[in-house]
Amino acid sequence: MARQWGMVIDLDRCTGCEACVVACHAENNIATVGEDQAARGRAMHWIRVERYWEGNFPEVRVTYRPVLCQQCGDAPCESVCPTYASYHNPEGLNAQIYNRCIGTRYCGNACPYNVRFFNFFNPVWDKPLNLQLNPDVSVRSVGIMEKCTFCIQRIKVAEFRAQAEKRPLKDEEFNPACVQSCPPTAMVFGDLDNPQSEVSRLARSNRATRLLEEVGTAPNVIYLRSVS
Amino acid sequence: MPAHSPEQLNEDVLRPLVHTTWRFYLTAGILGSIVLAALAAFIYQVYSGLGVSGLDRPVFWGFYITNFVFWIGISHAGTLISAILRLTNAPWRRPVTRCAEAITVFALVIGGMFPIIHLGRPYLFFWLFPYPSERGIWPNFHSPLLWDAFAISTYLTGSSIFLFLPTIPDFALLRDKASGWRRKLYRALSLGWTGTPRQWHRLEMAMRIMAVVILPVAVSVHTIVSWDFAMAPVPMWHSTVFGPYFVAGAIFSGIAALIIAMAFLRKAFHLEQYLTPFHFDKLGKLLLLMSLVWAYFIIAERLTVWYGNESPEMAVYWSTQQGRFTHLFWFMVFCNLVIPFAILSIKHFRFSIAGPVIASTTVVIGMWIERFLIIVPPLERKYLPYSWGTYHPTWVEITITAGTFAAMALLYMIFSKLVPIISVWEMKLGWQQEAEASRPVASEAQLPHMIPGADLPAPGN
């Protein structure tokens, strides 16, 4: 059954706590690069919380926007990759196949959201942190790109389980790590093509917007924000 | 031009092939050590990871891609200019074509290395080529990088043939004159050339075909290089002007490189008699023309962006006009427009050798900066201000960049020791045609011929 995985993020609920960032790092074996490298702009966070100030001191209002791969329907990163490392899978995900990547970094340039990350060095985990790596997610090596996968390992497990139990996959049977860990439940994940799902109901909200939609990427991450 | 004797020409042009001074060895030694340093830097980069470069997120491309575009641009010196001059049958081309065509081949070899140097996993570069592999997939034909791989390999093949074809009669001449290992080498390279009318006819046909074929290839190569940028939805990359803008820039920097190379050859090999101020004047005029064309393109590009006033593009625009790249931008304009215009628009300076050489040097520097300014500022200011970044090159990138300039000079020097840098038979043919043209019945000179065929003395006689 064809699905279109998508996510809704309610910016009016987001508190900017960055629990999603931590959860993502733990789930997806994302290396921390250290202070020096982070200062040089090489930090890898598949999801980041962008913080914006509106107004002048002391009347300042802080708003947050979690930005992850927008899993574009028409993704600039996919067409430019010469080796199909970045490709569109049948469920509408921008999949990244690490073994195919030769590190041209063209996808990273073409991505308007800057949500693709390059392994400038081989990742290292100080002992005993190496023991907490998630066995379901491959550890990436030096010289290749990586990015948010919508926790494809969880999608696959849920699909296989439903298949084994000979039943359709239920809406919200599972969630990516960021959605699962969001304290104010600002994030909702599911099948956008299923009109009954929570995510498609929210996507039809009149608060729905998409980030940089004018670039023509047809993102599958929808932001809810009340227009004041 | 004064009358020359073929014997004097043989003597002047072939002398550098056998007589090597200590200056040559010293220069080659210095250049070679710079190349070795660059090689060491590259090995260090492969061993440690691209983190030793200054690249970061979001500036994923920096010096290496700048060098790539720059060298591919330089490569347009030869083939394109030489093909145009051959097709238009400009008589002054004869001493110029060989050294121009050689620039093309070497600049392409060097430029073509950079997409591999800059890879995260350079040892897998061959995955760009379509071949039946155990992985069971083709490369992505939608990717401009793949177009690049095809365009550059086509151009390298074409321009190598274009360089080699008119060298065959000269190789035969050398074969007849040389001894020892040189004789063996030139015998192999001359492909059994004996100078029969049949061979001259075939050579003439092949060169005509190549001159016509290489022009669209050269134009398409730099257009495709520009599409590496123009195809991506990055502010100030995504522009329709990039194709012709890059082609014009390539020819511009190519002419400059040619003028510099000619001046060096003239001095080092005492070719004052053949590479005359007359040639520098002609090429200087071309350089001036291309400088104005370049200025036209940069105004067309910048004015439309500024007038359109779209916020993502303006962020990039202001970073080059009132931001951290302002000085670099105006220095580029100074190098590419002000200096060439000031020097080359004056006849007296054009005819001095120093004038065109100074202008060409600033143009080469300016065009390198131009490529840098095309690539880096848009990546630093790409859409969401939260993820803007900055780029500072490291010693690894600087060493590798210096190494390629040294490699270019070194390759060129070695070439000039193995191949006559001025096409001997074309010079002789030119004098013969001039002599014929000065006869009372001059109708034959009007014919668009390049090689008359049997009436030419066989090389080596």
What ipTM does this complex have? 0.91
Q: Which of the four pLDDT bands, split at 50, 70 and 90, describes residue B19? A: confident
User: What integer pLDDT is reported at residue B10 of this predicted model?
Assistant: 79
pLDDT at position B376 over 80: yes
Mutation choice for A interface testing from B114, B143, B311, B316 by most A CBs within 10 A? B143
Contact B94, B275 (CB under 8 A): no
To which residue do tokens 């299923």 refer?
Answer: A194
- Say which of B124, B145, B390 has its CB closest to residue A106: B145
User: What integer pLDDT is reported at residue B275 of this predicted model?
Assistant: 86
User: What integer pLDDT is reported at residue B453 of this predicted model?
Assistant: 45
Q: Count the residues in chain A.
A: 228
Q: Which of the four pLDDT bands, split at 50, 70 and 90, describes residue B1? A: very low
Q: Which of the four pLDDT bands, split at 50, 70 and 90, describes residue B438? A: confident
B137 and A106 within 8 Å at the Cβ level: the answer is no
Q: What span, in angstroms and rounded, lies between the C-alpha atoms of B35 and A105?
A: 26
Share of chain B above pLDDT 90, in %: 59
For chain B, what are the domain ranges?
6-129+140-429
For domain B6-129+140-429, which architecture applies? Answer: Up-down Bundle (1.20)
Q: How far is A197 from chain B, CA to nearest CA, in Å?
A: 30
Share of chain B above pLDDT 70, in %: 94
pLDDT at position B222 over 80: yes
Where chain A has pLDDT below 50, the residues are none
Residue numbers of A between 209 and 228 with CB closer than 8 Å to B: 211-212, 215-217
Q: What is the mean pLDDT of chain B?
A: 88
Strand A5-10's sheet: what is its strand order? A187-191, A5-10, A221-224, A208-209
Q: Which of the four pLDDT bands, split at 50, 70 and 90, describes residue B120? A: very high
Q: Which residues of B touch A46 (CB under 8 A)?
A: none
Please compute Rg for chain A using Cα positions.
Answer: 18
Q: Does A112 touch chain B (CB under 8 A)?
A: yes
Token pair in block for residue B280:
């520098």
pLDDT in tens, B391-404: 999 999 999 999 99
Q: What span, in angstroms and rounded, lies between the C-alpha atoms of B114 and B107?
A: 11
Q: Which of the four pLDDT bands, split at 50, 70 and 90, describes residue B445? A: very low
User: What integer pLDDT is reported at residue B441 of this predicted model?
Assistant: 52
Q: Which residues of B touch A121 (CB under 8 A)?
A: 48-49, 51
Share of chain A above pLDDT 70, in %: 99
- Local structure of A144: helix, strand or coil: coil
Token pair in block for residue B408:
């270019």
Question: Of A200-209, B28-37, B419-428, which range is least confident?
Answer: B419-428
Token pair in block for residue A159:
């699909």
Q: What span, in angstroms and rounded, lies between the C-alpha atoms of B461 and B433?
A: 18
Q: How far is A42 from chain B, CA to nearest CA, in Å?
A: 5
Q: Which residues of A touch B127 (CB under 8 A)?
A: 82-83, 100, 102
